Structure 1
């Protein structure tokens, strides 16, 4: 069992909900204030705040409050644990095919 298992579980639970995945996709382009994040969803603001809290507890997003405005950002490297885990799940045959592809790219003469 990998030593990052708890972090991986938290991130996977946080991203299991389509609303939270949509928030993460939106935040991938730039930070946003909560009211801007809430606009595309047909839910009450407290419900969205609950989703944001789950993402923040999992370490996926961070938030800062300036006066009455809360800005939410995607935490840099927050999804690296997913990339690492998925990489470990690749079969040896996939890895070997990848290496073969790199080798063929390097050795094939260019026209």
Structure 2
């Protein structure tokens, strides 16, 4: 009885750890989160540009810096974790096209 309980508990813990890693900590999950942040920041940047078209707005410049930083993070993750030959399609889909 104790042996079955021990095995089932370890299986549940292992499955939980695996799912947590895949959905929250894997490189693909990080890249997906960074893309979501980029889209959210771009939306905020566009709102600020609409508000102050004639005036130089420091928030717009900061948003551009934030976007560039996330582009660099995505490129670093793609270069470090993914093989250019095996994961070529994934890399091409997720590599940011530089805006600047």
Q: Identify the structure with the greater helix proportion.
A: 2
Q: Identify the structure with the greater strand proportion.
A: 1
TM-score by length of structure 2 reads: 0.31
Task: Answer 1 or 2: higher relative contact order, Cα 8 Å, separation at least 6.
Answer: 1
